[in-house]
Chain A
Amino acid sequence: QKEVEQNSGPLSVPEGAIASLNCTYSDRGSQSFFWYRQYSGKSPELIMFIYSNGDKEDGRFTAQLNKASQYVSLLIRDSQPSDSATYLCAAPYSSNTGKLIFGQGTTLQVKP
């Protein structure tokens, strides 16, 4: 059974700090990972994806992938109260179905 695991939180950080969200996965064959942000009452929004080992930066967001350790993380620099949301990590279920497996999500609270 392929799994994607996240700490449900809540993770609380002060405004301006770096928020670090982590995700581990069970399938060593997974090649790509996705981070979705979901505000309360809204649908998930794709904010980052990463396909190769190392870091990928997009504005205040950095995704980090470590295939050897089977974890992927999302760093949010200069956290803002508007970043308060649930962050979902996802990985492909298999290479030919297009399906994604989602983690349980981590709730981030950024306190002013």
Chain B
Amino acid sequence: SAVISQKPSRDICQRGTSLTIQCQVDSQVTMMFWYRQQPGQSLTLIATANQGSEATYESGFVIDKFPISRPNLTFSTLTVSNMSPEDSSIYLCSARTGGMYEQYFGPGTRLTVT
């Protein structure tokens, strides 16, 4: 498994501003992902963070709104841009550590937009 940390753990932001969430893994991993989890809902994949290239976004998510960086094999950031109250959610980073499909999650970032 892997130990994954995220910063910040929570934040309250004003409408129209942006927030960058950081995800750090304690070892090199093959794949990193960003998810959103709205209250009472399951996980929705935002994008796959690709090391050294542009992220791969899922339907309904675009780079202008959710720019992602992954400069190396242990670190990624997700920015939530031009926020609105609808962006209030928990944002989760996950990592796939080996040849199989297991993913391990960070503790999440709880975002509230006012």
Contacts and interface: CB of A to CB of B under 8 A. Distances in A.
Interface of A: 32, 34, 36, 42-46, 49, 51, 88, 92, 97-100, 102-105
B67 interface: no
A2 to B, nearest CB: 12
Contacts of B103: 34, 46, 98, 100
Contacts of A51: 100
24 contacts: A32-B100, A34-B103, A36-B105, A42-B108, A43-B92, A43-B105, A43-B106, A44-B92, A45-B105, A46-B103, A49-B100, A49-B101, A49-B102, A88-B42, A88-B43, A92-B101, A97-B48, A98-B96, A99-B48, A102-B43, A103-B42, A104-B41, A104-B42, A105-B42
Q: On chain B, which size bracket covers the interface?
A: 20 to 34
> Main SS of chain B's interface residues?
loop
B108 A43 contact: yes
A9 to B, nearest CB: 12
B30 interface: yes
Contacts of B92: 43-44
Nearest to B103: A100
Contacts of B43: 44, 88, 102
A30 to B, nearest CB: 10
Interface centre among B41, B42, B108 (most CB of A within 10 A): B42
Contacts of A104: 41-42
Nearest to A95: B101
B104 A34 contact: no
Interface centre among A43, A44, A105 (most CB of B within 10 A): A43
Interface centre among A36, A88, A102, A103 (most CB of B within 10 A): A102
